[in-house]
Amino acid sequence: MSHVIHRSLAKVPLVAVGGKGVQLFDKAGKAYIDASGGAAVSCLGHAQPDVMAAMHRQIDQLAYAHTSFFTTEVQEELADHLVAHAPAGMTDVYFVSGGSEAVEAALKMARQYFVEIGQPERTHFVARRQSYHGNTLGALAVGGNEWRRKQFAPILMDVGRVAPAYEYRDRRADESQQAYTARLLAEIDAKFQELGTDKVIAFVAEPVVGATLGAIAAPAGYWTGLRALCDRYGILLIADEVMCGMGRTGSLHAVEQEGISPDLMTIAKGLGGGYQPIGAVLAQGRIVEAMRKGSGLFQHGHTYIGHPMAAAAALAVQKVIQRDQLMPQVLARGAYLQKQLHARFDTNPHVGDIRGRGLFWGVELVQDKDSKAPFDAALKLHAQIKAQAMANGVLCYPMGGTIDGKHGDHILLAPPFIISESELDQVVERLGDAIDTVLARNG
């Protein structure tokens, strides 16, 4: 009998007892290839020796100091490292303990910035219907994941909502990609106008959508257009890179591939690689400068911000990524995974789309490839595939949900950056077998 409130109250999950490299082990001794890195977290896999050593050193020196009294060398060094590799103009970092906290802090920093510069009438956020930004109330409000937010909607702030950037389903057959991008941007422009261009605080979006749709990047030109649109009206652009950031897509930040720099950017999962809970907000210097010159403080704070153990783990993770030059490796292994996914699934009549960047891949299942009609949501195909894949010894991150009334079954893969080609072969083989088994079972 477990006294833990688990994610599912219906059953107690298996007990994890160990991890090494790309593998996790349960109490019964079964090994699993961690092909989703949890939820795109474990970028270096498990028990990475340099990270473990850095954490040991830190705990021997100092486990905790409250940030109202002290900073720590390790927090400062991590901030220096992040700023040295940040998109243009992002000169300041605010540390928190996870993704939702990072989004909350970014929303509040954006609002406070406008109060400080004398534009307190800016009170609205605009976001997309497909996004997931976290489970705390502010993050849930800007998120568009209906399944997660539905019962809480009456107590959430009102957020301007625009279409997903979801080319596979939403680009019309007779529409060029350029025209599709232009249509999406025109809708955002219209939403800004509707709410009042001087009333909007920020537009919030994931550069590559993870937890709602499975590794979907926006069409070409979307982010440059978005940047220009926000600049035209003085609206801030918040890039939520909690899942897609920190190297996952093959560049340290996903926005690098879009050629833009956001005003605020949230990072988390791959920042600490799961060794410690940590997230952060990267901010343009002018935003922090406005607060410094104005009230002199960011009106926010949690007990564990800037936690030395978390900072030590994250610093070590980021140094390993840099030392071992893992970004080119992510691109090379990602290209290999892409090739293997296509080889295994292109002939499957129920695999509608395979998309992704770097080591961040999504597979979308459909009942019918031509019409893209989804499977009956009641089948919970994604959950069946997760269970079967686990039985086959591979962990993948499935999701199902309704976006614009359309149900989808998606499988997300986000393996550690250190995964080998032969391990990727095993992932594809075991996942393929799980998908075949579940499809056969469901007729």
Q: Which of 44, 79, 103, 255 binds ligand PLP (CB under 6 A)?
A: 103
Q: Binding segment for ligand PLP among 97-105, 162-170, 189-197, 226-234 (CB under 6 A)? A: 97-105
Q: Does 242 bind ligand PLP (CB under 6 A)?
A: yes
| Dihedral of the alpha carbons of 416, 417, 418, 420, in degrees to the nearest 10 | 90
Query: Could you say which residues in the range 33-62 bind ligand PLP, by CB under 6 A?
Result: 39
Q: Binding segment for ligand PLP among 86-94, 131-139, 197-205, 296-304 (CB under 6 A)? A: 131-139
Q: Does 104 bind ligand PLP (CB under 6 A)?
A: no
Q: What angle, 0 to 180 degrees and rounded to 10, lies between the N-to-C axes of helices 381-391 and 421-441?
A: 130
Q: Which of 106, 127, 204, 211 binds ligand PLP (CB under 6 A)?
A: 211
Q: Does 210 bind ligand PLP (CB under 6 A)?
A: yes
Going by C-alpha positions, the residue among 217, 282, 276, 283 that lies closest to residue 244 is 217
Closer to ligand PLP at the Cβ: 241 or 353? 241
Q: How many residues bind ligand PLP (CB under 6 A)?
A: 15
- Given a contact cutoff of 8 angstroms between Cβ atoms, the answer to whether 124 and 195 are in contact is yes
Q: Does 134 bind ligand PLP (CB under 6 A)?
A: yes
- The minimum distance between CB 239 and ligand PLP, in angstroms, equals 10
- Half-sphere exposure of 383 toward its Cβ, with a 13 Å CA cutoff? 8
Q: Which residues contact 217 (CB under 8 A, 6 or more apart)?
A: 165, 207, 208, 209, 249, 254, 355, 357
Q: Does 240 bind ligand PLP (CB under 6 A)?
A: yes
Structure tokens at 161: 């909502």
Going by C-alpha positions, the residue among 48, 45, 26 that lies closest to residue 35 is 45
Q: Give dist(CA 366, CA 17) in Å, integer.
A: 36
| Residue written as token pair 């301007």 | 160
Write the DSSP assignment of 317-376 as a string of letters.
HHHHHHHTTHHHHHHHHHHHHHHHHHHHHTT-TTEEEEEEETTEEEEEE-S-TTT-PPPP
- The minimum distance between CB 40 and ligand PLP, in angstroms, equals 7
Closer to ligand PLP at the Cβ: 135 or 197? 135
Q: Does 268 bind ligand PLP (CB under 6 A)?
A: yes
- The minimum distance between CB 183 and ligand PLP, in angstroms, equals 24
Q: What angle, 0 to 180 degrees and rounded to 10, lies between the N-to-C axes of helices 285-293 and 99-116?
A: 60
- The minimum distance between CB 149 and ligand PLP, in angstroms, equals 13
Q: Does 270 bind ligand PLP (CB under 6 A)?
A: no
Q: Does 100 bind ligand PLP (CB under 6 A)?
A: yes
Binding site for ligand PLP (CB under 6 A): 39, 98-100, 103, 132-134, 206, 210-211, 240, 242-243, 268
